[in-house]
Structure formats: structure tokens, C-alpha cells
Chain A
Amino acid sequence: AQSVSQHNHHVILSEAASLELGCNYSYGGTVNLFWYVQYPGQHLQLLLKYFSGDPLVKGIKGFEAEFIKSKFSFNLRKPSVQWSDTAEYFCAVNAPGYQKVTFGTGTKLQVIP
């Protein structure tokens, strides 16, 4: 069975600070990986995804993530956060051939102006 761990439950950063949110997954085979974001009062939106190819994936709003297969990790990064990045971030995994997406517990990011 798939599982996803997000190490940080709540992160507080000042504007312009760099961000890295950790995500590790557990699954024996090939996986598809996602980061979703939920802004306050809004629905889950896809930030970026990895299916295959270049392990460094660029998403919307300046976010990127790197798939490191040997570490079963898919950490999310942004070099300089903005107040508008305040949201909850969810790492998720899905096994190719299956529709079920397994989510991590989420990391609440608070950016202080």
C-alpha cells in the first residue's frame, strides 16, 4: 500500500525566505507524484506533477520539486516566498494504472509580510 509522509505540519516564514517542504513516500514500484495547494477558502489545486522524465519538475507560481528515487522523496521548493503563498500544501502519490491518489497530512505554510 502507498503512504506519504510530510515532515513539517506548520511552517512560518518571512517574505523572501526560501522554502523547502519535505515529502517522502512508501511504495514498491513506479509512482506518479503530485503537490497540491489549498489557499484559504479555496479548493485543492495542482501545483506540479511528476510522471516520468526529468526529476526536477517546475510548477506554477515559481514552485519546483525534485524527485529523488533513491530517497523516495519529492520535496517542494521555492527560492523566495510571498505572503500570497500562505496556504496548505499536500504531497500525493499515485501508482500508474490505479486511480487512487494517496495524500500526505499536509503542511500549513504561513508567510509573514
Chain B
Amino acid sequence: EPEVTQTPSHQVTQMGQEVILRCVPISNHLYFYWYRQILGQKVEFLVSFYNNEISEKSEIFDDQFSVERPDGSNFTLKIRSTKLEDSAMYFCASSVTGYNEQFFGPGTRLTVL
């Protein structure tokens, strides 16, 4: 069964550094998403992406964040200058259309020191 994959599984970085989290969505899916879960808190929506554009974003997704589909398979989340409060589990998801269930990857645990 096709799955969403994410790399790395764990990323440790220093405050102020840039990080890029990578995702490979399910191949026939057209919509891609990033969510995050700070330890002990809810899974929160960050952004959705369709046709090489952001289609929705939350208030969390400020200028420090960007997303890109650099090729036909990868979908990336970049945090330009990480802060301590960016430490969280980041989940990528994909769906066939914008109105179907979303399939989630295993997550990348980001630790900012």
C-alpha cells in the first residue's frame, strides 16, 4: 500500500539555523500538507499546497516558513531561522483531491537547541 514518507525522522538544529524537512507524498495525490504537533499539544495545520501554490495556510505559517515542490516527487518545508518554539513533530500529508481524507507520513521530530 502506498505511503507518505518523510526524512529525516529526527533533526536536531541550533537556534537560528535553517532546516528543510522532506516528504514524498503518495504518487497520484495532488494536494500536500504540513502539520505540526508540539509535545503535549494538538496536531495543528500549517499549510496546504496544490498546483505549485499555497492554497491555505494558518496563522502559524509566517514568513519564516516556506514550502516547495522542487521536483515531481518531493515536497519540502523550510524553516529559515529556527526558534526554540519550533521544536515539534512535523507531519506531512497528501490527498487525492482537496476534499478527501488526508494520508499522513510518520513525522519528523525537530529539536531546536
Contact = CB atoms under 8 A, between A and B. Distances in A.
Interface in B91-113: 91, 95, 98-99, 101-107
Contacts, number: 49
B56 interface: yes
Given A103-B43, A104-B42, A46 B101 contact: yes
A44 B101 contact: no
B41 A49 contact: no
Interface residues of B, number: 26
Contacts of B87: none
Interface residues of A, number: 22
Interface string A72-113: 000000000000000000101000111111111110000000
B104 A44 contact: yes
A42 B103 CA distance: 13
Interface in B40-82: 41-45, 48, 50, 55-56, 58
Closest 7 CB pairs of A and B: A99-B48, A44-B104, A103-B43, A43-B106, A100-B45, A99-B98, A46-B101
Interface of B: 3-4, 31, 33, 35, 41-45, 48, 50, 55-56, 58, 91, 95, 98-99, 101-107
